[in-house]
């Protein structure tokens, strides 16, 4: 756990580290994209062992391996200057943790389109570097984005990210494990990954002078509060799983940080997402869960492409419009734009009031409208043009009948509201899933 006090910055020692500049291939022109892959010696040892046994390193491709060999020959220390040789300009530099994941990758697209420069830090525990290659191909802004493979729970690795990647104007913190069922089975894993990763991030930000933070929270913190949820609704009561409690605890930690002498100068936005679905309109980016999807929409999408036989709808006797559970679905691109709006909010509010220099605000990011499971299934049938096999099952323990957001605060203070409909969410999900039936692992034609 991160307990080290602030310490002065020191020269980066690469003795126990390997920096690989891996050049993206495939649809991205050679030389356009630069990735940094930062690995600890223990990881390298494991990979070397795996290679001996016939395995391959997780990220580096043929060109990356060649670059790595060159780097190693040069003592591995020649890589920092390669990082940002183009496209720097006056762009603000944003650290995006977990940026290779579903919401993160869509947000990186919106950040690049809005003129920000981005460094993604992701352990790739639930993502693929392919998502960032596709972000680069879509935006054609290779010089403006880097991916560093590192785990936030590795305090030293994170420190080196801050030392090597340059000053960050703000951080958007997506990195975390998010599977509700897995969190019930492995609570310590979830508390460790989500909480320790966040503590390390806060410490590193403080040490390296980055004081604007946007945090991915969830509507799950509202537990059994009354609907619609407003930002002032009670939180933390009736949260039924460790995943949800990690979000609640981190929110509390951030509120405590904002009450400290140093933290009171920080800009913090806590964003409570409702139910993010959909995909980039290009069909090149989307949700790519490991194993059996936990969430409804990716499950439906996999039924549509024949990866799953049928959908089970849990509960048809709720007190809702058609008896099935109702949720507040939000298109991931609208959600991504909510992050850009939050950064803009911090840029224009932090430091403007001498008596209250910092900002710590909570925002609901949802559509404000409930949609039932059956309504979503029917909209998806329209999008994919075929019936979706389904059956009804019993209610699941812990599932609420209905919840949705009051979105007034985000509209008023961020000037943000959703623009895309449930039909858009389904059309874009179908485009992504039909073009990529196996997600990012789908072989290229
Ligand atoms: N998708 C949803 O339904 C939803 C709803 C509410 C909140 N959220 C939150 O939003 C965030 C992003 O969600 P997502 O759907 O994009 O999930 P995701 O799993 O696709 O993305 C999370 C990313 O974080 C990375 N990661 C996890 N632990 C890490 C660590 N210790 N160090 C570095 N990287 C790490 C993963 O590899 C992954 O790329 C998460 O914090 C999630 O809890 C998601």
Q: How far is CA 149 from CA 14, 74, 125, in A?
A: 16, 21, 10
335 lines ligand 1 (CB under 6 A): no
pLDDT above 70: residue 13: no
Q: Pick the residue whose CA is nearest to atom 36 on ligand 1.
A: 126
Q: How far is the CA of 272 from the centre of ligand 1 (A)?
A: 13
Place of tokens 């591995």: 76
pLDDT above 90: residue 145: yes
| Pairing between β-strand 34-40 and β-strand 359-365 as defined by DSSP bridges | unpaired
| Pairing between β-strand 170-173 and β-strand 93-97 as defined by DSSP bridges | parallel
180 lines ligand 1 (CB under 6 A): no
Q: How far is the CA of 52 from the centre of ligand 1 (A)?
A: 32
105 lines ligand 1 (CB under 6 A): no
Q: Is 145 helix (H, G, I), strand (E, B) or coil?
A: strand
41-64 pLDDT per residue, tens? 455 445 444 444 443 323 222 223
Selected residue with higher pLDDT from 1 and 310: 310
Q: Pick the residue whose CA is nearest to atom 20 on ligand 1.
A: 101
Mutate to test the pocket of ligand 1, among 43, 175, 213, 241 (most ligand atoms within 8 A of CB): 175
The length of the chain, given as a count of residues: 445
| Dist. CA 235–CA 247, nearest whole Å | 10
330 lines ligand 1 (CB under 6 A): no
* The ligand 1 atom nearest the CA atom of 104: 16
CA triple 122-124-127, angle to 5 deg: 110
Kindly compute the dihedral angle of the four CA atoms of residues 405, 411, 413, 414, in this order, to the nearest 10 degrees.
Answer: 100
Q: Which two tokens stand for residue 127?
A: 């993502």
User: Positive or negative, the Cα torsion across 171, 76, 129, 83?
Assistant: positive
- What pLDDT is stored for residue 376 in this prediction? 98
**Mean of pLDDT over the chain:** 84
| Dist. CA 437–CA 391, nearest whole Å | 23
Neighbouring-strand partners of residue 329 = 275
pLDDT above 50: residue 403: yes
* The ligand 1 atom nearest the CA atom of 193: 31
149 lines ligand 1 (CB under 6 A): no
pLDDT above 80: residue 85: no
Selected residue with higher pLDDT from 281 and 354: 281
Q: How far is CA 62 from CA 135, 209, 267, 279, in A?
A: 21, 37, 42, 30
Neighbouring-strand partners of residue 17 = 40
Q: How far is the CA of 198 from the centre of ligand 1 (A)?
A: 12
124 lines ligand 1 (CB under 6 A): yes
pLDDT above 60: residue 243: yes
Q: Pick the residue whose CA is nearest to atom 12 on ligand 1.
A: 174
Q: How much of the chain, in percent, has pLDDT values that exceed 90?
A: 76
- What pLDDT is stored for residue 90 in this prediction? 67
22 lines ligand 1 (CB under 6 A): no
pLDDT above 80: residue 37: no
pLDDT above 60: residue 358: yes
| Dist. CA 152–CA 17, nearest whole Å | 16
| Dist. CA 9–CA 159, nearest whole Å | 9
pLDDT above 60: residue 10: no
Contact call for residues 8 and 209 (beta carbons, < 8 A): no
Mean pLDDT of 265-276: 98
pLDDT above 60: residue 305: yes
pTM: 0.85
Q: How far is the CA of 176 from the centre of ligand 1 (A)?
A: 4
Neighbouring-strand partners of residue 269 = 214, 361
276 lines ligand 1 (CB under 6 A): yes
pLDDT above 90: residue 1: no
Q: Pick the residue whose CA is nearest to atom 1 on ligand 1.
A: 276
The sheet carrying 117-122 orders its strands as 17-23, 34-40, 145-149, 117-122, 93-97, 170-173, 212-218, 267-273, 359-365
90-125 pLDDT per residue, tens? 699 999 999 999 999 999 999 999 999 999 999 999
Q: How far is CA 116 from CA 90, 158, 286, in A?
A: 9, 21, 22
- Cβ-count burial of 334 within 10 angstroms (0-12 exposed, 13-18 middle, 19+ buried)? buried
DSSP state of 13: P
* The ligand 1 atom nearest the CA atom of 289: 20
190 lines ligand 1 (CB under 6 A): no
Mutate to test the pocket of ligand 1, among 43, 102, 214 (most ligand atoms within 8 A of CB): 102
Of the pLDDT bands very low, low, confident and very high (cuts 50, 70, 90), residue 29 is very low
Mean pLDDT of 258-285: 98
Q: Which of 61-70, 191-200, 356-365 has the lowest mean pLDDT?
A: 61-70
| Dist. CA 149–CA 140, nearest whole Å | 21
Of the pLDDT bands very low, low, confident and very high (cuts 50, 70, 90), residue 22 is very low
């Amino acid at each position: 756990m991160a307990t080290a006090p602030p310490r002065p910055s020191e020269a980066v020692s690469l003795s126990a580290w390997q920096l690989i500049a891996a050049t993206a291939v495939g649809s991205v022109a050679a030389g356009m994209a630069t990735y940094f892959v930062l690995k600890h010696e223990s990881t390298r040892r494991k990979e070397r062992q795996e290679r001996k046994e016939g395995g391959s390193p997780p990220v580096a491709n043929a060109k990356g391996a060649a670059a790595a060999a060159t780097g190693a020959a040069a003592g591995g220390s020649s890589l920092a200057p390669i990082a940002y040789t183009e496209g720097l300009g006056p762009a603000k530099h944003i650290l995006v943790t977990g940026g290779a994941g579903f919401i993160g990758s869509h947000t990186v697209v919106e950040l690049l389109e809005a003129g920000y420069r981005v460094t993604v830090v992701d352990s790739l525990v639930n993502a693929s570097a392919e998502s960032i290659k596709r972000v680069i191909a879509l935006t054609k802004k290779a010089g403006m984005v880097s991916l560093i493979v590192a785990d936030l729970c590795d305090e030293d690795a994170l420190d080196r990210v801050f030392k090597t990647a340059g000053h960050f104007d703000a951080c958007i913190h997506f990195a975390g494990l998010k599977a509700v069922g897995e969190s019930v089975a492995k609570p310590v894993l979830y508390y460790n990954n989500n909480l320790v990763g966040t503590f390390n991030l806060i410490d590193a930000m403080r040490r390296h002078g980055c004081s604007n933070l946007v945090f991915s929270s969830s509507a799950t913190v509202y537990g059994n509060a009354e609907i619609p949820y407003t930002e002032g609704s009670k939180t933390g009561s009736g949260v039924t799983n460790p995943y949800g409690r990690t979000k609640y605890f981190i929110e509390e930690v951030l509120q405590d940080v904002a009450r400290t002498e140093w933290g009171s100068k920080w800009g913090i936005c806590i964003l409570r997402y409702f139910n993010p679905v959909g995909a980039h309109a290009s069909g090149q980016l989307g949700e790519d869960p490991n194993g059996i999807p936990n969430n409804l929409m990716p499950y439906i999408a996999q039924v549509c492409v024949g990866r799953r036989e049928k959908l089970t709808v849990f509960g048809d006797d709720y007190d809702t419009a058609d008896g099935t559970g109702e949720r507040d679905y939000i298109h991931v691109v609208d959600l991504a734009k909510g992050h850009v709006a939050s950064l803009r909010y911090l840029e224009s509010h932090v430091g403007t009031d001498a008596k209250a220099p910092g900002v710590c605000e909570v925002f609901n990011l949802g559509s404000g409208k409930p949609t039932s499971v059956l309504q979503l299934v029917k909209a998806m049938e329209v999008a994919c043009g075929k019936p979706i096999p389904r059956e009804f099952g019993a209610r699941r323990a812990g599932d609420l009948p209905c919840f949705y957001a009051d979105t007034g605060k985000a509209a008023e203070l961020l000037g943000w509201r959703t623009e895309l409909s449930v039909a858009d969410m389904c059309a874009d999900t179908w485009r992504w899933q039909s073009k990529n039936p196996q997600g990012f692992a789908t072989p290229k034609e």
